[in-house]
Each structure stands twice: as C-alpha cells, then as structure tokens.
Amino acid sequence: MTPHNEAKKEDIEKVVIMPGDPLRAKYIAENFLTDAKLVNQVRGMYAYTGKYKDKKVTVMAHGMGIPSLGIYAYELYKFYDVDCIIRIGSCGAHKGELRLLDTLLVEKSYTESNFAYTYSGIDEKETYATKEINDLIEETAKENNIEYKKANVFCSEVFDNYIPDLQQVLNRLPKDIQASEMESFVLFYLAKMLNKKAGCLLTVVNTVYDEEELTTEQRQNSLNNMIKLALETARKL
C-alpha cells in the first residue's frame, strides 16, 4: 500500500493497462474482464484486477499529466513489482498522415518538461518505448487485423487547445513529432530508470487537418480497438 494506492501487493498483477480516465478503467473492467475486482479507489483513481480470457491483468487509471502518471507508474513499478505498463490514451495529431481515430503505437516521446532533470539530475528530453513491447504489440495487431501507425509524440504539460500560439510550440519541436499527448515521456523514462517495460497506444481524437465531428459510436469503436490490442498483447506477457 502507498498513500495513493490502497491495493495489497497481491491485488496488482505484473502487467498493468493504464488509461488516463478512471471511468475508462471502469468501462474496461465491466466490458472486457471477467471476475473483475475493484482494488483501489483512493482519490477516485480506480484500479481493477480480473481476467481477460486466460490472463489475469490489472487495469488502473493514471490521471492527467506527467506528475500524475509519474506517481502511479513509479509506485506500481517500485512497490508492487509490476513488470510492464501499457498506457492507452488519446492524442491530437499535427501531421497530415495521421487521421481521426487512427490507432498509434508510440515509438519516441519528446518533452520540454524537467521531470528527468528533477528525478535524476540528467536533463533528458526524449525517451523510447521498450522495443520488446512494441514488437509484441505489432505482432499482436497483425494477428488480430487491427490497423495501427507508428508515431513519435510530444509529451506536453499544457493541453493543446489551451496554448495561445500552438504553432509556435510546434515550430520548435523535432521535425519527426507527429502528435501530442501528456504522459508517455514519464512512463518510458521511469521504465528505463527502473529496468522495467513500457508501451503506449493512442487514439487520434482531434487533428488540425480534420474538423469532422465524431459520433459517440465512432469514438467508442476506435477506443475498443486500442483496448483490445493492449489486452491481447498483455496475454503474451
């Protein structure tokens, strides 16, 4: 147990799927898992452990932003002996090759945050998903006929829609950055520092190139593809 997680150590499985939204964790538990048990609700950050087909997994929310995910991922890795975390979330696209509802497999995450410097005294600004996990996700996607695209993302500390001059920010990013989200850097970085594994799958929910209004059904179906891909990958770990 920690100040942020009331689960007993044995309540948390070695592979954890992490959406940002606690209600999405609840949705996954209710719609994809059997015998799901609520093992944490401190601060409303729900965690459920149950079976996906033949594999026991934990699904736990991580909240929004680098500090929030940093707390929960660190505790899962350090105090609950979790081996692998796969984040599933949403993102905004900045390049035309990415379309609404695309499923993205994140390879590199770049940030302007000082998290790495504060944590270790080393001013790192980019880090990578665990190659073994990404290879497994790709293999699983092909087996299940789930389309995906590889992407490099900007892990921002400010929500895109609230930045007064987003283009100014985009202009100073590395040219290979294709989308923005708010958590992947810290997940990949902590996995590297703690000798653990991490992956990240994202669904594009907005793009500067497409103003189409998504229906609830469209959004949910796309998110379900991402959820299924993460869970099917977890079965192999």
Domain boundaries along the sequence of the chain:
9-234
Q: What does each of the 237 residues of the chain score in pLDDT, given as a tens digit? A: 898 989 999 999 999 999 999 999 999 999 999 999 999 999 999 999 999 999 999 999 999 999 999 999 999 999 999 999 999 999 999 988 898 889 999 999 999 999 999 999 999 999 999 999 999 999 999 999 999 999 999 999 998 889 899 889 999 999 999 999 999 999 999 999 999 999 999 999 888 666 666 666 666 566 899 999 999 999 999
Q: Which of 24, 169, 161, 185 is nearest to 106 (CA)?
A: 185
**Alpha-carbon 122 to chain mean position:** 24
* Per-residue H/E/C for the chain: CECCECCCHHHCCCEEEEECCHHHHHHHHHHHCEEEEEEECHHHCCEEEEEECCEEEEEECCCCCHHHHHHHHHHHHHHCCCCEEEEEEEEEECCCCCCCCCEEEEEEEEECCCHHHHHHCCCCCEEECCHHHHHHHHHHHHHCCCCCEEEEEEECCCCHHHCCCHHHHHHCCCCCCCEEECCHHHHHHHHHHCCCEEEEEEEEEEECCECCCCCHHHHHHHHHHHHHHHHHHHCCC
What is the per-residue pLDDT for 160? 87
Q: Could you give the CA distance from residue 122 to residue 125 in angstroms, rounded to a whole number? A: 9
What is the per-residue pLDDT for 29? 97
Q: Does domain 9-234 have CATH number 3.40.50.1580?
A: yes
What pTM was estimated for this model as a whole?
0.94
Contact 178, 97 (CB under 8 A): yes
Count of other CB atoms within 10 angstroms of residue 162 = 7
Q: Which of 133, 129, 183 is nearest to 154 (CA)?
A: 183
